[in-house]
Amino acid sequence: MNKTNRKQDALDYHSNGRPGKIQVVPTKSTNTQRDLTLAYSPGVAEPCLKIADNKEDVYKYTAKGNLVAVISNGTAVLGLGNIGPEASKPVMEGKGLLFKIYADIDVFDLEVNATSIDEFVTIVKALEPTFGGINLEDISAPSCFEIERRLKEEMKIPVMHDDQHGTAIISGAALLNACEIQGKKLDKIKMVVNGAGAAAVSCSKTYLALGVKQENMVMFDINGLITPARTDLDDIRMQFATGRTDISSLTDAMKGADVFIGLSAGHVVSAEMLKGMAKNPIVFAMANPVPEIDYDVAVKCRKDIIMATGRADFPNQVNNVLGFPYIFRGALDVRATAINEAMKLAAIRSIAELAKKPVPEAVNLAYNTRNLKFGKDYIIPKPMDQRLITEVSSAVAKAAVDSGVARQKIADWDGYRESLRLRIGADDRLLRNIANKAKQNPKRVVFAEADNYKILKAAQIVREECIATPILLGNVSRIKSIIKHSDLELDDVEIIDPRDHPARFEEYAEYLYHKRQRRVLTLHEARKIVTQRNYDGACMVQLGEADALISGLTKDYVTTVKPSLQIIGTAEGVNRVAGVYLMMTKKGPVFIGDATINVNPTIQELVDITVLIDRSVKQFNIKPRIAVLSYSNFGSNDGEIPFKTRETVRILHEQYPDILVDGDMQANFALNPTLLADNFPFSTLNGAPANTLVFPNLESANIAYKLLQEIGDAEAVGPILLGLKKSVHILQLGSSVREIVNMVTIAVVDAQEKAKNETPGAISRTRNA
């Protein structure tokens, strides 16, 4: 795409449809006249009176506690300079958008026509009753220093100039990790800072707070080295003056330097200057869009370098969005009176620590990479990492409480972290609870399709997180090749090629033959079959050499499940197997079955399926509320489906009175408790929506879960196979790494439950490697 097209695309993006990027959306119902009388006159008078009596109640009755002002006078907008307040508005709207999507903070952008310090401060101070926090943006230096200082001093809500502190916080986290990787001590490093604007000054102060020694730091501005002899600078810059006489240029300063910090202009650093730096140099070339030295030039010139830029197309992007949404989130949530140094340092350290943790597969996918991990090319997290809101916001909030600027304390920090996840739609509590249960007693899981990158990546994740001990089936050399080329950490995981162990598989063949000899299976045929990985894996589970089997990523469901049915079979008292999907919806988890096995179950088969699903849902520590669905409501229609579902419920009520189930009913009645209670007050499901939906046939269940997945943006976990003696679970064709990890986690918990119910003396042994 050429530059002209990019410019037009940007203009079209902002002008098409509703102009701009943000809008105000009501948070309360406005559907009736009564709603409007409560929202405005006369009902609105009541919260007004409460706030008049107690000003702190403004946080209870209005949006102030979640409202930030993004304020600019347009005097230093991006790289565009002093373009005025009106021209700065697209940037401020964009900043508001980032606040909302990353931290669920509401924003009003305010572009003010005020260039003098006193006028600007007066305007912003007058806004304190409206906002919970103030984000200053794109204000020219040196005015920005004094404006922020005065506002922080005179206001009792959080104020931060992100252009100064945002870059300082993110680059500070990057510096901590870069020094750790390069084996450098903060109090020993020699640092060169090129640039003396607002960001450079704030960065330098932050590095000093982290442990860098001022005598080891030199700073340059557009006119050269800052020294005590300079008469053209204010006191803020002069605090970084150096008395060194051996330096007259940037080239001189770079000789032997450990760290270069660039917040200046493009292409001011040459390859020769880089070659003069110390061993294992750290270079943060943060001028944007053109860095002080091109990334490709730098890494070619110095193989031992750690390089960061302000650009997204290179590793280690120093991006302020890693900080400001979450810093304000934490500050707002404890009603902090300021954003102080303790809170900034807490943000720095939490960002740095997050980079050392295993990276979620969703982040790898978002950046089209396979295996991000802590190292030279990954010293700070990526902006799409949803863990930032929990890690950084909670660290900032805690620092606010500990440093005495919080007006509201947090008693339940785990609950607070959960609320942060909910703000960005990451309600994965159930899956985390399942994972925690799995970690209490990890099991051996056989991966039957281990010659696949996604399977191997999932195996690495469940191993790192202590969920399971992987056993990999397939061609050993091919699996090892994928591990090596993908830089996966699976070197000491057991890999088995079924074709390379004839004695062991003779035992498996004998077992299969004796089990299936009356089904026209010869020993010769059994020997051939058990070299197939799904049969081999099923034998391992059945004979106690593994606890669970995962397969199905590359083969259809029937082909995958058949070996387990033949070798392992159904659990005692179970007549058939079934499949259920756990749908992670915005309204909470919903179980749907049977969507995989039984095409058109009879009444009794539907009863059996419902009983299986009821038991399965209870394993997730959820009380099942089961609706047997139809196009009829409690006999409102006749036909094959209404009759089948009504009879199913009748038998369940008679034979399984402990199961909370009702039907026949339509899906909207099952999921809308008000609708159900108003029309059918006798229903046993009244009081709360159903969380488990049993469909009359596979066709309807399969269509429903896929509609929920695509239109409802629900995450499907499954299919969870029910009714086998042992833990076997089948993946959907083409499952993502996250989906595979979820299924392995469920398989481990299933294996734990089945082990509790295992008959004493049942076959179980540990195979010698």
Neighbours of 679 (CB within 10 A): 13
DSSP lists the bridge partners of residue 520 as: none
Of 99, 107, 34, the C-alpha closest to 64 is 107
Please identify which of the residues 13, 40, 300, 562 carries the catalytic annotation. Answer: 40
Of 588, 539, 547, the C-alpha closest to 758 is 547
Q: Could you give the 3-state DSSP secondary structure of residue 40? A: coil
Helical H segments across 229-310, by residue range: 235-238, 250-254, 271-275, 295-301
Determine the Cα–Cα distance for residues 72 and 70; give it in Å rounded to an integer.
7
Of 484, 482, 475, the C-alpha closest to 448 is 475
DSSP string, 328-373: HHHHHHTTBS---HHHHHHHHHHHHHHTTSPPPHHHHHHTT-S---
Determine the Cα–Cα distance for residues 694 and 608; give it in Å rounded to an integer.
11
Parallel, antiparallel or unpaired: strands 548-551 and 588-593: unpaired
The answer to whether the peptide bond before residue 664 is cis (omega within 30 degrees of 0) is yes
Determine the Cα–Cα distance for residues 224 and 262; give it in Å rounded to an integer.
14
Tell me if residue 40 is catalytic.
Answer: yes
Q: Which residues contact 53 (CB under 8 A, 6 or more apart)?
A: none
Sign of the C-alpha dihedral computed for residues 670, 673, 677 and 683 taken in this order: positive
For residue 632, give the H/E element and its range.
none
Residues 359 and 457 sit within 8 Å (Cβ to Cβ) = no
Amino acid at position 300, single letter:
K
Residues 626 and 684 sit within 8 Å (Cβ to Cβ) = no
Determine the Cα–Cα distance for residues 268 and 292; give it in Å rounded to an integer.
5
For residue 744, give the H/E element and its range.
helix 737-756
Determine the Cα–Cα distance for residues 265 and 263; give it in Å rounded to an integer.
7
Residues 336 and 343 sit within 8 Å (Cβ to Cβ) = yes
In the block, residue with structure tokens 């050499």: 545
Q: Could you give the 3-state DSSP secondary structure of residue 767? A: coil
Of 281, 490, 493, 489, the C-alpha closest to 372 is 489
Determine the Cα–Cα distance for residues 337 and 712; give it in Å rounded to an integer.
40
Residues 716 and 687 sit within 8 Å (Cβ to Cβ) = no
Q: Could you give the 3-state DSSP secondary structure of residue 447? A: strand
Please identify which of the residues 21, 50, 64, 95 carries the catalytic annotation. Answer: 95
Residues 261 and 238 sit within 8 Å (Cβ to Cβ) = no
Determine the Cα–Cα distance for residues 46 and 64; give it in Å rounded to an integer.
17
Tell me if residue 95 is catalytic.
Answer: yes
Q: Could you give the 3-state DSSP secondary structure of residue 257? A: coil
Sign of the C-alpha dihedral computed for residues 106, 108, 109 and 115 taken in this order: negative
Residues 395 and 376 sit within 8 Å (Cβ to Cβ) = no
Whole-number CA gyration radius for the chain: 31
Determine the Cα–Cα distance for residues 693 and 642; give it in Å rounded to an integer.
15
CA-CA-CA-CA torsion for 542, 544, 547, 553, nearest 10 degrees? -50
Phi-psi domain of 49 (left: phi exceeds 0; alpha: psi -120 through 50; beta: other): alpha
Taken as a whole, the chain contains a residue count of 769
CA 648 → CA 611, 628, 722, distances in Å? Answer: 11, 8, 19
Q: Could you give the 3-state DSSP secondary structure of residue 620? A: coil
Which residues are catalytically annotated?
40, 95
